[in-house]
Amino acid sequence: MAAPSYGLIATFETAPGLYHAAEQVRDAGYKNWDCITPFPVHGLDKAMGLKRSVVPRISLCGGITGFFTGMSMIWWTGAWDYPLIVGGKPYFSPMFAFPIAYELTILFTAFATIGGMFFLNGLPMHYHPVLKYEKIRRGMDDLFFIVIEARDPRFNLANTQALLEKAGGKDIKDLET
C-alpha cells in the first residue's frame, strides 16, 4: 500500500524561472505551497502572494512590555516597596529608571522576536516530508523547487502536475508523507 501523498515537487534551474512559475502558481489560486531556494530571491515573496510578516509587531509589543516592566519595577521598589528619601531625591524618577528600562526593552524585544518567529514558523519541526526527496540537497546549492501540498483545496494531481509542467518545472515528483 502506497503512503499518502504530501504533494508535488517541481525542479527549476534558474531563479527567474522559479519566480515566473511562482507567479503562475499564485495566479492559479493555490494557498498551501512553498518555494525552496539556495539563496534569497528578491521579490519572491510578492510573486508568491505572501503578506508582510507579523514578527515586527510582536517585537514591538515585546519592547513596549520590557520598557514598562523596567519603569514599573523601579517605581515599585523605590516608591512603594521600600520608599527611602536619599539626598532629597524623589521616590521615583524616570531618569534613574531609564537604564534598567532600556535594557529590559532590548531583552524583551529579543525574546519576543525569537519566540514569535518560532511560533509563526511552526518550529521546532524535526522532520518534513520534503526531506525524503533525493535531490533536496541541491536546493541548498544550485537548484530551485516549488512544493504544492496535497492539502491545498485546489490540489488535483493531474491538474497540478500540468500547471507545474506549463510553468517550466522539470522532474516533477509526488512526495510521500
CA distances (Å), 95 to each of 29, 80, 105, 171, in order? Answer: 55, 18, 15, 64
Q: What is the pLDDT of residues 55-83, one digit of tens each?
A: 999 999 999 999 999 999 999 998 899 88
pLDDT at 2 over 70: no
Query: Rounded mean pLDDT of the chain?
Result: 94
* pLDDT band per the 50, 70, 90 thresholds, residue 86: confident
Per-residue pLDDT at 3? 72
Residue 1 has pLDDT above 80, yes or no: no
pLDDT at position 177 over 70: yes
DSSP string, 84-105: ---TT--S--HHHHHHHHHHHH
- Cell numbers at 32, concatenated: 498551501
What 3-state class would DSSP assign to 73? helix
Fold for the domain defined by 5-52+126-176: Alpha-Beta Plaits (3.30.70)
Is pLDDT larger for residue 166 or for residue 93? 166
pLDDT (0 to 100) of residue 84:
86
Give ranges for CATH 3.30.70 in the chain. 5-52+126-176
Q: How far apart are CA 3 and CA 14, in angstroms?
A: 31
Name 11's bridge partners: 145, 170
